[in-house]
Amino acid sequence: MRDSRSFVSLATDFGAAYTAICAGVVSTIAPAANVLVLSDEITPFAVREGAMLLRQALPYMPAGVHVGIVDPGVGTPRLPVAIETGRGDVLVGPDNGLLVPAAAGLGGVVRAHALENPAYRLPAVSTSFHGRDIFSPAAAHLATGLDVADLGPAVEPLPLDVPSAVARDGELTVPVLYTDRFGSLVLGGEPADLAAAFGPLPYGTPLDVAWTDPAPGSARVTFEETFGGVSPGAPLVWVDSSGWLGLAVNQGSAAEVLGLAGVETVVLRRPSAR
Protein backbone atom coordinates (compact mmCIF):
# COMPACT_ATOMS: atom_id res chain seq x y z
CA MET A 1 0.00 0.00 0.00
CA ARG A 2 1.37 3.38 -0.99
CA ASP A 3 1.98 5.82 1.84
CA SER A 4 0.33 8.53 -0.26
CA ARG A 5 -3.05 6.97 0.46
CA SER A 6 -2.91 8.67 3.87
CA PHE A 7 -4.41 11.66 2.01
CA VAL A 8 -8.22 11.57 2.06
CA SER A 9 -10.49 14.02 0.26
CA LEU A 10 -14.25 14.43 0.64
CA ALA A 11 -16.67 15.84 -1.92
CA THR A 12 -20.38 15.77 -1.07
CA ASP A 13 -23.76 17.44 -1.51
CA PHE A 14 -24.27 17.28 2.27
CA GLY A 15 -23.43 20.81 3.35
CA ALA A 16 -20.86 21.62 6.01
CA ALA A 17 -22.22 19.88 9.10
CA TYR A 18 -22.84 16.41 7.68
CA THR A 19 -19.58 16.51 5.74
CA ALA A 20 -17.74 17.44 8.92
CA ILE A 21 -19.19 14.32 10.56
CA CYS A 22 -17.74 12.23 7.73
CA ALA A 23 -14.36 13.91 8.18
CA GLY A 24 -14.56 13.16 11.90
CA VAL A 25 -15.17 9.46 11.23
CA VAL A 26 -12.13 9.33 8.93
CA SER A 27 -9.93 11.12 11.46
CA THR A 28 -11.07 8.88 14.30
CA ILE A 29 -10.18 5.67 12.44
CA ALA A 30 -7.11 7.07 10.65
CA PRO A 31 -5.76 9.86 12.88
CA ALA A 32 -2.58 10.22 10.83
CA ALA A 33 -4.49 10.89 7.61
CA ASN A 34 -4.54 14.33 6.04
CA VAL A 35 -8.27 14.96 5.46
CA LEU A 36 -9.37 17.65 2.99
CA VAL A 37 -12.97 18.67 2.32
CA LEU A 38 -12.83 19.30 -1.41
CA SER A 39 -16.43 20.47 -1.49
CA ASP A 40 -19.62 20.17 0.55
CA GLU A 41 -21.55 22.38 -1.90
CA ILE A 42 -22.38 20.09 -4.82
CA THR A 43 -26.00 20.73 -5.81
CA PRO A 44 -28.14 18.18 -3.95
CA PHE A 45 -28.77 15.00 -5.97
CA ALA A 46 -26.78 16.34 -8.96
CA VAL A 47 -24.75 13.24 -9.81
CA ARG A 48 -23.43 14.67 -13.10
CA GLU A 49 -22.24 17.84 -11.39
CA GLY A 50 -20.47 15.85 -8.70
CA ALA A 51 -18.89 13.58 -11.29
CA MET A 52 -17.55 16.54 -13.25
CA LEU A 53 -16.16 18.16 -10.10
CA LEU A 54 -14.27 14.98 -9.24
CA ARG A 55 -13.09 14.58 -12.84
CA GLN A 56 -11.77 18.13 -12.87
CA ALA A 57 -10.29 18.28 -9.38
CA LEU A 58 -8.78 14.92 -8.50
CA PRO A 59 -5.86 15.00 -10.96
CA TYR A 60 -4.65 18.04 -9.00
CA MET A 61 -4.97 16.31 -5.62
CA PRO A 62 -2.26 14.14 -4.08
CA ALA A 63 -2.71 10.45 -4.83
CA GLY A 64 -4.81 9.00 -2.04
CA VAL A 65 -8.35 8.01 -1.09
CA HIS A 66 -11.08 10.23 -2.49
CA VAL A 67 -14.65 10.02 -1.20
CA GLY A 68 -17.40 11.28 -3.51
CA ILE A 69 -20.99 11.26 -2.27
CA VAL A 70 -23.97 12.38 -4.29
CA ASP A 71 -26.34 9.58 -3.53
CA PRO A 72 -30.05 9.99 -4.28
CA GLY A 73 -30.31 6.17 -4.18
CA VAL A 74 -29.04 5.85 -0.59
CA GLY A 75 -30.74 2.94 1.18
CA THR A 76 -31.78 1.25 -2.09
CA PRO A 77 -30.04 -1.81 -3.62
CA ARG A 78 -27.44 0.43 -5.31
CA LEU A 79 -23.96 -0.67 -4.26
CA PRO A 80 -21.35 1.23 -2.26
CA VAL A 81 -18.02 0.76 -4.05
CA ALA A 82 -14.29 1.45 -3.95
CA ILE A 83 -12.50 1.90 -7.28
CA GLU A 84 -8.74 1.59 -7.53
CA THR A 85 -7.22 3.63 -10.36
CA GLY A 86 -4.11 3.38 -12.47
CA ARG A 87 -2.49 6.28 -10.61
CA GLY A 88 -2.92 4.39 -7.34
CA ASP A 89 -5.83 6.35 -5.90
CA VAL A 90 -8.95 4.70 -4.51
CA LEU A 91 -12.31 6.39 -5.11
CA VAL A 92 -15.07 5.60 -2.60
CA GLY A 93 -18.77 6.29 -3.05
CA PRO A 94 -22.06 5.08 -4.49
CA ASP A 95 -22.11 2.98 -7.66
CA ASN A 96 -24.20 5.43 -9.68
CA GLY A 97 -21.61 6.66 -12.18
CA LEU A 98 -20.35 9.43 -9.91
CA LEU A 99 -16.79 8.07 -9.62
CA VAL A 100 -16.18 6.71 -13.12
CA PRO A 101 -15.20 9.88 -15.06
CA ALA A 102 -12.64 10.76 -12.39
CA ALA A 103 -11.28 7.21 -12.43
CA ALA A 104 -10.78 7.51 -16.19
CA GLY A 105 -8.73 10.66 -15.63
CA LEU A 106 -6.57 8.93 -13.02
CA GLY A 107 -5.32 6.13 -15.24
CA GLY A 108 -8.52 4.14 -15.56
CA VAL A 109 -10.24 1.55 -13.40
CA VAL A 110 -7.83 -1.16 -12.23
CA ARG A 111 -10.31 -2.96 -9.99
CA ALA A 112 -13.47 -2.21 -8.05
CA HIS A 113 -14.98 -3.86 -4.99
CA ALA A 114 -18.27 -3.52 -3.17
CA LEU A 115 -18.13 -2.23 0.41
CA GLU A 116 -19.76 -5.25 2.05
CA ASN A 117 -17.36 -6.33 4.77
CA PRO A 118 -18.95 -5.29 8.10
CA ALA A 119 -15.49 -5.02 9.69
CA TYR A 120 -14.95 -1.80 7.73
CA ARG A 121 -18.30 -0.14 8.48
CA LEU A 122 -19.56 1.52 11.63
CA PRO A 123 -21.30 -0.93 13.99
CA ALA A 124 -24.76 0.53 13.24
CA VAL A 125 -25.57 1.39 9.62
CA SER A 126 -28.44 3.78 8.94
CA THR A 127 -30.56 3.74 5.79
CA SER A 128 -29.91 7.42 5.03
CA PHE A 129 -26.34 8.33 6.06
CA HIS A 130 -24.03 5.90 4.29
CA GLY A 131 -21.49 8.71 4.04
CA ARG A 132 -20.94 8.43 7.77
CA ASP A 133 -21.58 4.71 8.26
CA ILE A 134 -20.08 3.06 5.16
CA PHE A 135 -18.06 5.36 2.89
CA SER A 136 -16.03 7.24 5.50
CA PRO A 137 -15.01 4.14 7.50
CA ALA A 138 -13.96 2.34 4.30
CA ALA A 139 -11.92 5.35 3.20
CA ALA A 140 -10.23 5.58 6.59
CA HIS A 141 -9.27 1.91 6.59
CA LEU A 142 -7.90 2.24 3.06
CA ALA A 143 -5.84 5.20 4.24
CA THR A 144 -4.29 3.02 6.94
CA GLY A 145 -3.24 0.36 4.43
CA LEU A 146 -6.25 -1.89 3.81
CA ASP A 147 -6.28 -3.65 0.44
CA VAL A 148 -9.31 -2.79 -1.71
CA ALA A 149 -10.17 -6.47 -2.15
CA ASP A 150 -10.69 -6.85 1.61
CA LEU A 151 -13.75 -4.61 1.43
CA GLY A 152 -15.92 -7.07 -0.50
CA PRO A 153 -16.48 -8.84 -3.82
CA ALA A 154 -15.24 -7.53 -7.16
CA VAL A 155 -17.77 -5.54 -9.17
CA GLU A 156 -17.99 -3.70 -12.50
CA PRO A 157 -18.74 0.00 -11.83
CA LEU A 158 -21.75 1.50 -13.55
CA PRO A 159 -20.97 4.27 -16.08
CA LEU A 160 -22.23 7.82 -15.70
CA ASP A 161 -25.48 8.31 -17.58
CA VAL A 162 -24.67 11.20 -19.93
CA PRO A 163 -25.72 11.40 -23.60
CA SER A 164 -22.89 11.90 -26.08
CA ALA A 165 -22.50 15.06 -28.10
CA VAL A 166 -23.85 14.66 -31.65
CA ALA A 167 -22.10 16.59 -34.44
CA ARG A 168 -23.62 17.14 -37.86
CA ASP A 169 -22.59 19.54 -40.58
CA GLY A 170 -23.33 22.97 -39.13
CA GLU A 171 -24.98 21.66 -35.95
CA LEU A 172 -23.88 20.35 -32.56
CA THR A 173 -26.28 18.86 -30.01
CA VAL A 174 -24.81 18.70 -26.50
CA PRO A 175 -26.13 17.74 -23.06
CA VAL A 176 -25.96 20.16 -20.16
CA LEU A 177 -23.76 18.58 -17.51
CA TYR A 178 -24.52 21.12 -14.80
CA THR A 179 -24.92 24.81 -14.05
CA ASP A 180 -22.10 26.28 -11.96
CA ARG A 181 -22.44 28.82 -9.17
CA PHE A 182 -22.05 31.70 -11.66
CA GLY A 183 -25.02 30.49 -13.68
CA SER A 184 -22.83 29.26 -16.54
CA LEU A 185 -23.82 25.99 -18.22
CA VAL A 186 -21.08 23.37 -18.56
CA LEU A 187 -21.81 21.33 -21.68
CA GLY A 188 -20.97 17.71 -22.48
CA GLY A 189 -18.96 18.56 -25.57
CA GLU A 190 -15.32 19.31 -26.30
CA PRO A 191 -13.48 21.45 -28.87
CA ALA A 192 -13.18 18.40 -31.14
CA ASP A 193 -16.98 18.16 -31.24
CA LEU A 194 -17.21 21.83 -32.15
CA ALA A 195 -14.67 21.31 -34.95
CA ALA A 196 -16.56 18.25 -36.22
CA ALA A 197 -19.73 20.32 -36.56
CA PHE A 198 -18.33 23.63 -37.81
CA GLY A 199 -14.75 23.10 -38.96
CA PRO A 200 -12.20 25.73 -37.95
CA LEU A 201 -13.98 28.25 -35.77
CA PRO A 202 -12.17 31.56 -35.19
CA TYR A 203 -12.86 33.43 -31.97
CA GLY A 204 -15.66 35.91 -32.45
CA THR A 205 -17.65 33.60 -34.75
CA PRO A 206 -21.40 33.93 -34.11
CA LEU A 207 -23.52 30.86 -33.38
CA ASP A 208 -27.17 30.30 -32.64
CA VAL A 209 -28.04 28.27 -29.56
CA ALA A 210 -31.51 26.75 -29.17
CA TRP A 211 -33.35 24.51 -26.71
CA THR A 212 -36.82 23.02 -26.40
CA ASP A 213 -37.33 21.89 -22.79
CA PRO A 214 -38.69 22.92 -20.36
CA ALA A 215 -39.73 25.76 -22.70
CA PRO A 216 -38.48 26.61 -26.21
CA GLY A 217 -35.87 29.34 -26.51
CA SER A 218 -32.91 30.57 -28.52
CA ALA A 219 -30.11 33.12 -28.43
CA ARG A 220 -27.31 34.46 -30.60
CA VAL A 221 -23.88 33.93 -29.01
CA THR A 222 -20.26 34.13 -30.14
CA PHE A 223 -17.46 31.62 -29.69
CA GLU A 224 -14.80 33.31 -27.58
CA GLU A 225 -11.47 32.54 -25.94
CA THR A 226 -12.30 34.51 -22.79
CA PHE A 227 -15.27 36.12 -21.09
CA GLY A 228 -13.70 39.47 -21.89
CA GLY A 229 -14.22 38.81 -25.59
CA VAL A 230 -17.77 40.12 -25.20
CA SER A 231 -19.27 43.09 -23.38
CA PRO A 232 -20.65 42.67 -19.85
CA GLY A 233 -24.10 41.11 -20.08
CA ALA A 234 -23.43 39.49 -23.47
CA PRO A 235 -23.54 35.69 -23.97
CA LEU A 236 -20.74 33.50 -25.26
CA VAL A 237 -19.61 29.93 -25.81
CA TRP A 238 -16.10 29.13 -24.60
CA VAL A 239 -13.90 26.21 -23.53
CA ASP A 240 -13.72 25.97 -19.74
CA SER A 241 -10.71 25.04 -17.62
CA SER A 242 -11.56 21.33 -17.68
CA GLY A 243 -11.84 21.20 -21.48
CA TRP A 244 -15.64 21.21 -21.74
CA LEU A 245 -17.63 23.68 -23.79
CA GLY A 246 -19.53 26.21 -21.74
CA LEU A 247 -22.38 28.66 -22.28
CA ALA A 248 -22.07 31.82 -20.22
CA VAL A 249 -22.86 35.50 -19.88
CA ASN A 250 -19.98 37.86 -19.14
CA GLN A 251 -20.42 39.07 -15.56
CA GLY A 252 -23.88 37.54 -15.44
CA SER A 253 -25.83 34.30 -15.17
CA ALA A 254 -26.63 32.53 -18.43
CA ALA A 255 -29.25 30.49 -16.60
CA GLU A 256 -31.09 33.67 -15.59
CA VAL A 257 -30.37 36.03 -18.50
CA LEU A 258 -31.16 33.47 -21.23
CA GLY A 259 -33.84 31.56 -19.31
CA LEU A 260 -31.89 28.30 -19.28
CA ALA A 261 -32.88 26.98 -15.85
CA GLY A 262 -33.79 23.32 -16.15
CA VAL A 263 -32.56 22.95 -19.74
CA GLU A 264 -30.92 19.54 -20.30
CA THR A 265 -29.83 19.78 -23.95
CA VAL A 266 -28.84 22.65 -26.25
CA VAL A 267 -28.20 22.78 -29.99
CA LEU A 268 -25.53 25.02 -31.51
CA ARG A 269 -26.01 25.97 -35.17
CA ARG A 270 -24.57 28.24 -37.80
CA PRO A 271 -26.49 31.51 -37.60
CA SER A 272 -29.75 31.84 -39.46
CA ALA A 273 -30.63 35.11 -41.16
CA ARG A 274 -32.19 37.67 -38.81
Residue 118 lies in a domain: yes
In terms of Cα–Cα distance, which of 91, 137, 268 is closest to 193?
268
pLDDT at 273: 63
- pLDDT of the residue at 272: 77
Measured from the Cβ of residue 201, the count of other Cβ atoms closer than 10 Å reads 14
Mean pLDDT of 173-199: 96
Instruction: Give Cα separations from 234 to 185, 195, 252, 265 (angstroms).
Output: 14, 23, 8, 21
Among 151, 177, 208, where does a domain finish? 151
- Domain assignment present for residue 274? The answer is no
Whether 274 shows a pLDDT value over 80: the answer reads no
Are 13 and 119 contained in the same domain? yes
Does residue 175 share a domain with residue 144?
no
Residues 8 and 143 in one domain: yes
Residue 142 falls inside a structural domain: yes
One domain, residues 203 and 127: no
Task: Kindly state whether residues 64 and 172 are assigned to the same domain.
Answer: no
In a domain, 237, yes or no: yes
Q: Same domain, yes or no, for 140 and 182?
A: no
Tell which residue, 60, 113, 111, has the closest CA to residue 84.
111
145 and 175 share a domain?
no
Question: Do 20 and 133 lie in a common domain?
Answer: yes
Asked if residue 47 is part of any domain, the answer here is yes
Q: What is the count of structural domains for the chain?
A: 2
The CATH number assigned to the domain holding 204 equals: 2.40.30.90
pLDDT score of 5: 65
* CATH code, domain with 146: 3.40.50.10790
Judge whether residue 53 has pLDDT over 70. yes
Please state, rounded to an integer, the average pLDDT across all residues of the chain. Answer: 95
Whether 10 is in a domain gets the answer: yes
The pLDDT of residue 109 = 98
What confidence score (pLDDT) does residue 1 get? 40
Domain stop point among 116, 151, 186: 151
* 128 in any annotated domain: yes
Q: Are 167 and 215 within 8 A, CB to CB?
A: no
Average pLDDT on 98-111 reads: 98
Residue 130 — pLDDT band, cuts 50, 70, 90? very high
The answer to whether residues 67 and 146 belong to one domain is yes
pLDDT interval class at 2 (50, 70, 90) = very low
Length of the chain: 274
Burial class (CB in 10 A: 0-12, 13-18, 19+), 200: exposed
Residues 230-267: tens digit of each pLDDT:
999 999 999 999 899 999 999 999 999 999 999 999 99
Same domain, 201 and 121: no
259 HSE (CA, 13 A, CB side): 11
Name the residue range of residue 104's domain: 3-151
Check whether residue 137 and residue 23 sit in a common domain. yes
Whether 161 is in a domain gets the answer no
Closest CA to 25 of 69, 70, 56, 59: 69
Q: Which of 151, 174, 193 is the last residue of a domain?
A: 151
Residues 47 and 120 in one domain: yes
Mean predicted confidence (pLDDT) in 21-27: 98
